[in-house]
């Protein structure tokens, strides 16, 4: 088995043509033609993951966030990125990234997030970068926030609560935008979204939602996307199980790349005091 067999499956699932113009997806380092030993899926490619992969006989890494976001600018000598690329080359590791194409894909990151939120009647907007769905029953904002914060283990979540809503008001129609909210609101207004769930957003985007009367819950960038990359790994394993088993290729997932510290969970673990 060579890397290209796995990469072609991923490209059929999340076609490169779906990627946004600003994005950089596909092969980041290495070769599609190398023989596959073991495969690692991760949200972000940290230096420690590269070190662990090299020590574990992994020579294909599938990431969500591109190793190289700006393909037009040369990699600065001596930078962290340059160090990562050197380690990859020295270790013979190939890196492939599926980003906005995986966000948009049917069964991709946004769909997985919508399903984890417990939504039904899920549909994509025109851009395919967002999803809209319904809760089985209307619930108060307070219940929704507590329930979803618990579901995603998101102790440092943020809530935008506009003046037209109160914590005991009900919500039923939910908008979904994994990762970083892009600021687009037309699709939410058109679909009469009560509350948006996203990973994170800039201050001005939150203010726009507030003024337009749309509630929003930030659950964390990592929290909103890690299930999507885990689901991709599961799809690959299920679809190529016989071949992977025959070739002795193992699939692994690195699920500990969240850079943020859970302040509130830390306080709870230590009795709630400072």
Phi, psi values for residue 177, rounded to 5°: -145, 100
- Note whether 118 and 67 are same-domain residues: no
Instruction: State whether 187 and 240 are in the same domain.
Output: no
| 59 and 141, same domain (yes or no) | no
Q: What average pLDDT is seen over the chain?
A: 94
pTM: 0.93
Is the confidence at residue 53, as pLDDT, over 60? Answer: yes
Quick one: 162 and 199 in the same domain?
yes
**Phi and psi at residue 30, to the nearest 5°:** 85, -155
If asked whether residues 247 and 213 sit together in one domain, one would say no
Q: Is residue 262 part of a domain?
A: no
Give the mean model confidence (pLDDT) for residues 30-59.
97
The count of structural domains within the chain is 2
Band of residue 274 on the pLDDT scale cut at 50, 70, 90:
very low
Q: Which of 76-85, 92-101, 142-151, 173-182 has the lowest mean pLDDT?
A: 76-85
> Same structural domain for residues 242 and 215?
no
Whose structure tokens read 């600021």? 183
β partners of residue 177: 198
**Same domain flag for 118 and 151:** yes
Give the pLDDT confidence score for residue 264 in this predicted structure.
60
* 141: its two tokens: 């904002």
pLDDT in tens, 177-211: 999 999 999 999 999 999 999 999 999 999 999 99
Q: Are 221 and 152 in contact (CB under 8 A)?
A: no
Confidence of residue 75 (pLDDT cuts 50, 70, 90): confident
Is 268 a domain residue?
no
Q: Is the pLDDT at 109 greater than 70, yes or no?
A: yes
Q: How far apart are CA 32 and CA 240, in angstroms?
A: 17
In a domain, 81, yes or no: yes
Range of the domain at 31: 3-102+225-254
For residue 273, tell me if it sits in a domain.
no
In angstroms, the CA 145 to CA 158 distance is 9
Residue 256, pLDDT above cutoff 90? no
Residues 148 and 17 in one domain: no
Q: Does 69 lie in the same domain as 119?
A: no
For tokens 């490209």, name the residue: 11
Q: Using an 8 Å Cβ cutoff, are 16 and 60 in contact? A: no
CA dist., res. 26 & res. 29, Å (int): 9
Same domain, 97 and 231: yes
- Let me know whether 82 and 56 are in one domain: yes
Write the CATH number for 91: 3.40.1390.30
Residue 267 is assigned to a structural domain of this protein: no
Q: Does residue 55 lie within any of the structural domains? A: yes
Q: Do 163 and 122 fall into the same domain?
A: yes
């Amino acid at each position: 088995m060579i890397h290209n067999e796995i990469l072609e499956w991923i490209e059929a699932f999340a076609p490169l043509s779906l990627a946004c113009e600003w994005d950089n997806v596909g092969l980041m380092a290495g070769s599609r033609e190398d023989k596959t030993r073991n495969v690692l899926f991760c949200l972000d490619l940290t230096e420690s993951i590269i070190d662990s992969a090299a020590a574990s006989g992994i020579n294909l890494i599938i990431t969500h966030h591109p190793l190289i976001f700006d393909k037009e600018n040369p990699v600065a000598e001596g930078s962290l990125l340059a160090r990562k690329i050197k380690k990859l080359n020295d270790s013979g590791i190939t890196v492939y990234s599926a980003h906005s194409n995986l966000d948009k894909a049917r069964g991709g990151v946004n769909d997985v997030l919508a399903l984890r939120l417990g939504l039904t009647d899920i549909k994509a907007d025109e851009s395919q970068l967002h999803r809209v769905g319904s809760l089985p029953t209307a619930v108060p904002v307070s219940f929704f926030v507590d329930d979803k914060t618990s579901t995603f283990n998101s102790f440092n979540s943020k809530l935008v609560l506009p003046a037209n809503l109160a914590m005991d008001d009900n919500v039923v129609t939910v908008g979904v935008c994994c990762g970083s909210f892009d600021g687009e609101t037309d699709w939410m207004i058109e679909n009469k979204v009560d509350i948006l769930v996203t990973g994170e957003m800039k201050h001005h985007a939150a203010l726009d939602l507030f003024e337009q009367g749309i509630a929003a819950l930030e659950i964390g960038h990592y929290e909103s996307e890690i299930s999507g990359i885990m689901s991709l790994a599961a799809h690959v394993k299920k679809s190529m199980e016989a071949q992977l088993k025959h070739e002795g290729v193992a699939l692994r997932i690195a699920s500990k790349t969240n850079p943020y510290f859970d302040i509130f969970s830390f306080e709870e673990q230590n009795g709630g005091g400072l």
